Structure 1
Amino acid sequence: MTNYEVRANIRVVFGDGALNELPTLLERHHPKSILLVSSGDYVDDLGIGDAVRQAADSLGATLIEDRGVVPNPRLEHVRELIETAKAHNVDFLLAAGGGSAVDTAKSVAIGLAAPEGTDVWDYFTVGHAVEQVPTLKVGVINTLPGTGSEVGRSAVLTNLATKEKFGVEANNLRPVFTIVDPAFSRTVPQHFQAAAIADEIAHLIETYTADDTDVDITDRLLEGALAGALTNAAKYADDPADDNARKQLHQISLYQHYLNFDRNSDWAGHPIEHVISGDYDLLHGEGLAIVTVAWLRFIAAHKPTKLVQLVSRLYHVDAVTFSEEQVVRGFADHLEALYGRLGLPTKLSAYGIGQEGVDIVAAKVTAGGARTVGNYYALSQEDVRALLSAAL
């Protein structure tokens, strides 16, 4: 078990009518100028736009709205929003949507706090410490369960010009409040929700996979969360209108980031996927559906022990009758079948990615072989190449 410190000063309001608490939640932070970031007009269809406008009016705050958020938040868009926020003296950021809206708001918060002459992208590439800048507060109205960004301390940004996608983590990026009314996710396009589910499942598997000992309590919590994610993903695949399934997926999305403090988790899948979606602009969950299944099969042959524990506890698989590799490969097969039901391909070729693309991804994520990726099993450039080649 690793030593850890938890700082999570966030209010979560969950349930039917949760949006009614928005004026009270905003009032605690005394905003004078609010920037609302979202994607398209669906926030108005859900009544979120009107609720935000009424809350801003009741507080005497100016409201600036931007609907330009896209999957894989864009650096250029964030730069534009930073200038907009400066021009309107914005002092509070509000995101309505899923992980892309939240990460956009967090990235704007970083850029607004950056010293003169420092670009927001420097915090994602050069290594400037985000916690050393006084970022603006971010609030969230969540409409898509899966990413966990609505309560998390990370943000991911994509630079289309350089085909790079990087993330940062800092405690001051954690939102100060998150509103979750599961009714808002009813209108999410099925494919976007499916991709978010793949992200949620990947978080839990990557978090679980670690060499740390004396972590049985969080092992059990992660096993329960993953069992819930898999069960409710299947229910969602059968009936996207299943309110209870979406409520459970929202719950898991909220709690997943509080189960990784005591371990040195693997986290190979996410950086590999970031390179893929940075190059090919896949949805994050689309890439993770491919990478997670491929990674499980690779680890099954090289270091299956921790995952054998996971699968044995989830499915009561007999690890005596079957080899450790068979146990983990069986789980990979099960996950691939689930993703098929959700309409998520698990082959790179489905997105026009061939061997040349695999070679580029393997080289990028390992800096041309200068570094490895993953903590539980350190993947070399050739390992990443082999792992992804098997998913062509």
Structure 2
Amino acid sequence: MSGLWGWLIFGAVVVFMLALDLGVFQRHAHVISLREATVWSAVWVSLALAFDVGVLWKLGAVRAMEFLTGYLIEESLSVDNLFVFLVIFAYFHVPLLYQPRVLKWGILGALVMRAAMLFGGLELIRRFHWMTYVFGAVLVFTGLRILAGEEDQVEPERNPVLRLFRRAFPVTPQLHGEHFFVKVGGRWHATPLLVALIAVETTDLVFALDSIPAVLAVTRDPFIVYTSNIFAILGLRALFFMLSGILGLFAYLRYGVAVILAFVGVKMLIAGYVRIPISVSLAVVFGLLTLSVLASVFLKIPPAFDVVRPVLRNAQACARFCRDLMADPRVPRRSRWFLRLALLYALSPVDLIPDFIPVAGHLDDVVILSLLFFFALRAIPDGVVREVWQATQRGSG
């Protein structure tokens, strides 16, 4: 199936479904309802699973599990994309009526861009085996950054591509319906809708820097790499309109994604010494996604958790805050156990990642202390945490 006929069947399915979705059902601009988005999400997921059955039939169980693992990883990473799309649409004041048009062209552009990056990544690994370790290190580092709460903020006004575009082309101050270009005073101008599209494309490019090494850690088969990635991308637009109103409920999903990235990064780094079966990788990815969704439903992030974030990189400040919290009689006993562990770790010379590593140093401290404080703060009233934190600041000032 991965030969010429496999590519032809895949291409025919993609072209037919895109023509049906975009050329028939989405021919005229309209607000996509929750029901419509849910139906199309189910269609795209069902299509991906049906394709995987074909992979199982023609290429065997290993390739089928590789496809499913790559698909799940890309889908989980896509949810982070959805958060960014919400920010972009809000920043450029794109109404719901025109958001499908932006995402349609964004996804079509992603099909081409992902092909170039995926096959480029495969060629890099083929020619330079050491790139495997670079990709693995990038994935581990990205996972740690997400766990440490150090993700880059989305700031469209600082996007260098958008800055360059605005210098090269005049942009109208307001939207002009669903048009990307309009003629003003005899001269063509871009509209904010086109600028939003460029922001979406550049954002996808940045996210691809994580997702592509992740799928390459699962398989090096070009057919499986590309098809699993594209099937996940094709359902992205419907997924956006289905989940856009409830994305905030999945508070722990990004942490599950972070652990998945770290896992596949480690898998890539140790591939030459320890071979992790694809069945284990699939179970880990599926299990982590399930746990993160269940945690989002049943666990709430302590409201005062953001208060402690500034102290996590400073061992002395963290130790003072732990001591002050433990000295407060309103802090329950079960929280004190986690605070003691946090205090011991903050003052410990042990480092999982040496601090002299300029990019990743201290990330292990932030991740471990974040986990300890998370469990400690769950039983402490929000007002107590903030009050003790203010007292700690005054005492150290």
Would the TM-score normalized by the shorter structure come out above 0.5? no
* Greater relative contact order (Cα < 8 A, sep 6+): 2
Which protein has the bigger strand share? Answer: 1
The normalised TM-score by structure 2 is 0.30
The normalised TM-score by structure 1 is 0.30
Which protein has the bigger helix share? Answer: 2
Larger Rg: 2
